[in-house]
Structure 1
Amino acid sequence: MKTSGKSKRQDNIVDLPVCIIGAGSSGVAAAKALKEKRVEFDCFEIGSNIGGMWRYENDNGMSSAYRSLHIDTSRVNLGYSDFPIPDHYPDFLSHFEVIDYLEAYADRFGVRPHITFNTKVEDVKPNHDRSWSVRLSTGEIRRYRAVIVANGHLWDPRTAEFPGTFDGDSVHSHHYRTADPYKGKNVLIVGIGNSAVDIAVDVCKGANKTFLSTRRSAWVMPKYIMGLPIDRWLAFFSRRLKLPTTWSRTIVKRIAYMVTGDQQRFGIPRPEHAIWREHTTLSQELIPYCGHGWINIKPNVKQLEGMDVSFEDGSREAIDAIIYATGYKTTFPFLRPEVFSVRDGEAALYRRMLALERPGLYVLGLIQPVGPTIPLVEVQAKWLASVLADDTALPARERMEAEVRAHGEEIARRYLGSARYTLEVDGRRYRKQLFGDISRGVAGI
């Protein structure tokens, strides 16, 4: 990696390989990009196969996939740029089909032989010479010139805390797999994101009663408008007509109104924020199921009272089980807090990847775009490979710090105050920035 105005790495560092941690959709993209740039690397995966969170019942113990999970990005917008998803797949792939695709991608580009499976990275620490020491579960310690963290950020559950105690069964959505344990029960799902709504729809078909509790609600959009996936409409307005993201999302919301009508009529409160200030919840079933009385919307939980739950509107319900679909903490168990951590969703990462305080440490896939993550992770991987191959130079430290501050200020202005949105990027602008860096051979601010 070269840095403008600074000397290259010492000879004993420059010849060291790069370490990739994780072999999910981010890790395999990084491996492919480094391989194409002929950058030597090792990739370690704690499980026995690739796929990360998309491998149902992954033996790495970190997958949040439930049996009925389908991705919320349509096929034509989901895949890597040089390996389109075949047309015989459905519009919205199941987790089984995503795994099929990732395995085909890894095999097509010869990535799998470069991955060491069933090997846990237990500790990563910087050395005085700017190299990195990586301790493996085998007991071996290896030295690298850079470390790419690609272990995902949707596996360490964040559970909401409410006053009182609950005597029924409770679980985070991370551990939810099927609706079978909830048949004939009164079930409360806390949250109104995509996973919460998917689980509510799954559970309500066999439960006695299903409630969904939301603190500030969400804009609920259908997956299809006039027979086309909703993200194709967004792509038309943002890519073909080149409208800003805020305009595109507002226009699509108005078109979707003709499909779903006023969500308030079905008991789903109208959010106080504009649709472009937060991610929408995509569901073709939630509104009809609310209309049929299969799912009942409740406000935020006020108190847990044994086998009852009271809500902020004064209502009270007998509940047998609670499923908390309340998001995830961003955790890196192999990095000690003094080395690197994400606090309240915030981290000083240049271009959302490079740890300013730890040169040589990169985080891949720690982004939350409006739209698909996989295509953006592919661009991130290309950027990283270009930097690590010395084809793209980094700017001076102060310019990188200015970029980090500017991004943080923009996020604070645009999105709601939530840890989730500190990871937000405008996909179109971000992609343009990274490709601009690569084409110029030097990263900008």
Structure 2
Amino acid sequence: MRVAIIGAGAAGLASARQAVGEGVECEVLEMAAELGGTWVYTDDVGKDRYGFPVYSAMYKGLRTNLPKEVMGYPDFPIPEQNKSYLTQAEILEFLNLYADHFNIRQFIRFNRMVAEIRPFEDKWQIKSIDKPTRNEIIDVYDAVMICNGHYNDPIIPKFPGEEKFKGKIGHSHQYRSPEPFKNQRILVVGAGPSGLDLALHMSSVAKYVVLSHHTKEAVNTEYPSNVSKKPDVLRIKDAEEVEFVDGSCCRFDTIFYCTGYKYNFPFLHESCGVTVDENHIQPLYKHMIHIERPSMCFIGIPFNVCAFQMFDLQARFFCKYLAGSMSLPTPCMMRMDTEKDMQNRWSKGYTKRQAHLMGPDQLSYYEDLAAAANTSPIAPVIVKLRDESVKRLYDDLLNFREDRYKIVNKETFVKYGFPIYSAMYKDLRTNLPKEVMNYPDFYFPEQERSYLTQPKVLDFLNQYADHFNLKRLIRFNRMVTDIRPFGDQWQIKSIDKPTKKEIVNIYDAVMVCNGHNNEPFIAKIPGEENFKGKISHSRQYRSPEEYTDQRVLIIGGGPSGLDIVYLISSVAQHVVLSHHSELATLSKFPSNVTKKPDVSQIKDNGEVEFIDNSCERFDAIMYCTGYKYNYPFLHDSCGVTVDNNWVKPFYKHMINIDRPTMCFIGIPTYVCAFQLCDLQARFFCKYLKGTMSLPSSEDMRMEMDKDMQNRWAKGYSKKKAHYMGPDQQDYYDDLATTANITPIPPVIVKLWHECLKRIFDDIQNFREDNYKIIDNENFIRI
């Protein structure tokens, strides 16, 4: 059994995966140079470089209008990350991951334009053209799965007087970016998801946008102030003026139709017996199988569906039939089933254009397919979440993509409405020993090893909180949104996340302890737009599995960079560490890891070039380049600024000089973190209690200026304004002396330095070291 699959988009890939899984030989004919179908972005409109039609309707800056939790395949979900609505590039990356995971790429024939399909006895003859050579290729197959999508042939209504209009008239199929519409007056006709999205996109540059529609849902949607809504167009009056059915008129420079597409199969010979009547495709059993010639199947015809999940289910159904593990009814029975289905649709008032609409009926359709093929159904939660997200689109177009969801089980999902700032990844072990990570007055329980797992450290923090009875003081699920001065006090607005209620409180002082692993620092590499793989930051990293068999570039040779290189190398084909760290050059890695200098550029062909002029190709690039200090909740009136990670004006890297009842705990880097936080907190709380005084604002500023001049003299950049490293003991001693409190013992800092050196000397084995502190000056390695 040999099957031809037309198209290597999401439907074609699912079809190939299921065909191979059933032991059916397949060949995928893809007209583009890469897989992904409609998810491939191109600037081309009309014809491609070979003179063939461009069918892509993808536009720049697109983000999905369904969450990733709905868009994965049943046996291959989209990898977890801190958002639900992804970009076009991220979906394309996912489809490439899917193809590589199931080893599908080997079956795809790229740049093959199918010209004709016709019956050949009980098989199918397919003529295709190799686009670069224009050679015609004729093959015969036992079956054919048509997966060419239905965003090819735009529906463009004809308005009376259209010939009078002197501006541009186009369809969303041709839209690529909003820039050409700057300062224009634009009419968008049609308020489906694409119409709403394009109206929003173009409003960012247009003079104004009018959305003409008769969609009930769209009326509830809020838009930017330069977007207004009108009913249907009645006629075009002259070169600029358009009249609507309510008698109102507006002038426009551009008219854009967002009015959908016609199903179009120009390669089907009439002898195939398939007809399309106003988007009603006949004769199809269960909206997919050719009743008269059941070795032809159409994957992806139904719309308003959970697309990727449905493609997989339809492909499983048909491939089970091809493999002989299930039978189809007779043509007569299939025709009766189809007629009954269509009569039910007509009775609901559906038009021919809605012949394959699923929407509220999709779960029944999925369950019917699954039961007939004795295969796993699509989980009800997928449909529930799709329905919820579509409602959100129409209710809150401006913000719905900030929603985040999690599937709990087959029936239930939960919605997260707030950002997640965790940079913690699976299987993390500390890169400092527990002997350094103790608090001065509360130690980790004695145990066999020094380097602990994330759960062990979290357990320790809970023990610390319980020991000092701190949990009673914590207000969980409170998102701080605004801090500002209120007289000589502080007004803090926060949101109770479960109820979304705003709470306003007044405090005498505030200690900001929100950490600084929130906003990734990502340097822009020249030519980055040429890279077709995945680009991410270590903050998004959770586990190495998604990099299986990939060529991965890690940028940054700090401890996180080294650690992630080591973890990913366990599954990756090859890992390159790009860095300029003298310490990182000492590190020894597994044999599939190499080191390179800084990246120079990403070339036009997608290769990464380094400053030594060497070049390599990669599937993924991950930045391990640190974070920006970020305080989105601080109002400008707080007087705190962040200049390339130099936070000021701070006395001793912690106290707001102009408003000293505000303190920032944990700003310095390359420190003994838990010990530092405890020492800074003791310092500030002595001031709050009145048992120590601070210098005048002028003296504090003079001390800050002197400290910073010393740092600049050492060659520190603003990014290292709060770097301690070799100077940390002096910083700790200064704080302790000023506040007359117990200092951090020198042995803690000595052990910190020893461990940092061990990371760079032996990244593969340093966590097997164990230490014991003997006294305030000495430790031993055991």
The 5 Å alignment of 1:22-171 reads 22-57=7-42, 61-88=54-81, 90-127=83-120, 129-137=121-129, 138-164=135-161, 165=163, 166-171=165-170
One-letter code of the match for 1:81? P
Deviates more, 1:412-421 or 1:373-382: 412-421
1:266-298: CA deviation from partner (whole Å, max 9, x where unpaired): xx6xxxxxxxxxxxxxxxxx4142xx3x21111
Query: Contact 2:126 / 2:139 at 8 angstroms: preserved in 1?
Result: yes
Which moves more between the two structures, 76-85 or 419-428?
419-428
What are the within-5 Å matches in structure 2 for residues 261-340 of structure 1? Answer: 263=219, 286-289=221-224, 292=225, 294-304=226-236, 305-339=238-272, 340=274
Is 1:401 paired with 2:399? no
Q: Please, what TM-score do these two structures have when normalized by structure 2?
A: 0.44
Alpha carbons 1:133, 1:142 under 8 Å: kept: yes
When Rg is computed on C-alpha atoms for both structures, the one with the higher figure is: 2
Query: Partner amino acid for 2:314?
Result: Q
Q: Which residue of 1 aligns with 2:319?
A: 385
The share of aligned pairs that are identical, in percent, is 31
Judged with a 3 Å threshold, the aligned counterparts in structure 2 of structure 1 residues 199 and 429 are, in CA distance, closer, same or farther, namely: same
Q: Match for residue 341 of structure 1?
A: 275
The 8 Å contact of residues 346 and 423 in structure 1, kept in 2 or not, is answered as no
Report the Cα offset of residue 359 of structure 1.
Answer: 3.2
Q: Distance in 2 between matches of 1:65 and 1:89?
A: 24
- Given residue 115 of structure 2, which amino acid in structure 1 is its aligned partner? E
Whether contact under 8 Å (2:119, 2:271) holds in the other structure is no
CA distance in 2, matches of 1:418, 1:310: 29
Distance (whole Å) between structure 1 residues aligned to residue 174 and residue 357 of structure 2: 24
Following superposition of structure 1 onto structure 2, how do residues 184-263 of structure 1 map, counting pairs within 5 Å?
184-214=183-213, 216-220=214-218, 263=219
The CA RMSD over aligned residues, in Å, is 1.9
Q: Distance in 2 between matches of 1:218 and 1:97?
A: 32
Maintained 8 Å contact 1:211/1:295: yes
The CA deviation at 1:424 is 2.9
CA distance in 1, matches of 2:160, 2:223: 32
Give the C-alpha shift of residue 358 in structure 1.
2.9
Task: Report the equivalent of 1:279.
Answer: none
* Contact 1:411–1:422 (Cα < 8 Å) also in 2: no
Assess, with a 3 A threshold, how the Cα gap between structure 1 residues 423 and 358 changes in structure 2: closer, same or farther. farther
Q: Deviations over 1:207-254 (max 9, x none)?
A: 11110111x22314xxxxxxxxxxxxxxxxxxxxxxxxxxxxxxxxxx
Q: Which residue of 1 aligns with 2:298?
A: 363
Cα deviation for residue 422 of structure 1 reads 3.2
1:90 deviation in Å? Answer: 2.1
Task: Tell me the SS of whatever aligns to 1:400.
Answer: helix
Given that 1:79 and 1:85 are in contact with CA atoms closer than 8 Å, whether structure 2 keeps it comes out as yes
Task: Work out the CA distance in 2 between the residues paired with 1:355 and 1:89.
Answer: 42
With over 3 angstroms needed to count, the CA separation of the structure-2 counterparts of 1:70 and 1:413, relative to structure 1, is farther
Q: Is the 8 A contact 1:153 1:328 kept in 2?
A: yes
Task: Give the equivalent residue in structure 1 for 2:6.
Answer: 21
Report the 3-state secondary structure (helix = DSSP H, G, I; strand = E; otherwise coil) of the residue aligned with 1:287: coil
The separation in 2 between residues aligned to 1:432 and 1:65, in whole angstroms, is: 31
State the Cα distance separating 1:76 from its structure 2 match: 1.4
Structure 1 match to 2:172:
173
Task: Report the secondary structure of 1:210's partner residue.
Answer: strand
Kept after mapping to 1: 8 A contact 2:280/2:354? no
Letter of the structure 2 residue corresponding to residue 323 of structure 1? F
Is this contact kept in 2: 1:71–1:95, CA < 8 A?
Answer: yes
- Hey, what's the Cα distance between the residues in 1 that align with 2:160 and 2:88? 36
Distance, in Å, in 2 between the alignment partners of 1:140 and 1:352 is 30
Give yes or no for contact 1:130–1:359 (8 Å, CA) kept in 2. Answer: no
The amino acid of 1:428's aligned partner reads L
1:135 CA displacement: 0.7
- Structure 1, gaps ≥5 residues long: 1-14, 221-262, 269-285, 441-445
Deviations 1:122-162 (A, max 9, x none): 100002x2111001113121111111110001121111110
89 and 28 in structure 1: CA distance in 2 versus 1, 3 angstrom threshold: farther
Whole-angstrom distance in 2 between the partners of 1:26 and 1:62? 16
Does the residue aligned with 1:342 lie in a helix, a strand or coil? strand
CA–CA separation in structure 1 for the residues paired with 2:26 and 2:350: 39
User: In 2 relative to 1, CA 89–406 (structure 1 residues): closer, same or farther, beyond 3 Å?
Assistant: farther
Q: Check whether the contact 1:75–1:89 (CA below 8 A) recurs between aligned residues.
A: no
5+ residue gaps, structure 2, are 130-134, 376-782
- Cα distance, 1:42 vs structure 2: 1.0
1:352 aligns with 2:287: yes
SS of residue in 1 equivalent to 2:139 = strand
Q: What is the CA-CA distance between 1:48 and the residue it aligns to?
A: 0.6
Question: Is contact 2:292–2:331 with CA below 8 Å preserved after alignment?
Answer: no
Asked which structure has the greater RCO (Cα within 8 Å, sep 6+), the reply is 1
- Which amino acid counterpart does residue 155 of structure 2 have in structure 1? R
- The one-letter code sitting in structure 2 at the alignment partner of 1:404 is T
Are the counterparts in 1 of residues 280 and 352 from structure 2 also a CA contact under 8 Å?
no
Rounded Cα–Cα distance in structure 1 between residues aligned with 2:215 and 2:112? 41
Tell me how far apart the structure 1 counterparts of residues 110 and 27 of structure 2 sit (CA, whole Å). 11
Separation of aligned partners in 1, 2:262 and 2:247: 31
Report what 1:9 is aligned to: none
Provide the C-alpha distance between the structure 2 equivalents of 1:373 and 1:346, rounded to a whole number of angstroms. Answer: 19
* Bigger mean CA offset, 156-165 vs 64-73: 64-73
Shift in alpha-carbon separation, 1:207–1:427, aligned structure 2, 3 A: same
Q: How many residues align?
A: 357
Q: Aligned to 1:406, what secondary structure does the other structure show?
A: helix
Q: Hey, what's the Cα distance between the residues in 2 that align with 1:341 and 1:63?
A: 24
The residue that corresponds to 1:271 in the other structure is none
How many Å apart are 1:421 and its aligned residue?
4.8
Comparing 152-161 with 25-34, greater Cα deviation is found at 152-161
Distance in 2 between residues matched to 1:124 and 1:299, nearest whole Å? 43
How big is the shift at 1:333?
A: 1.3
Q: Which moved more, 1:308-317 or 1:59-68?
A: 59-68
Deviation at 1:337, TM superposition (A): 4.0
Distance 2:327 2:253 in 1: 58
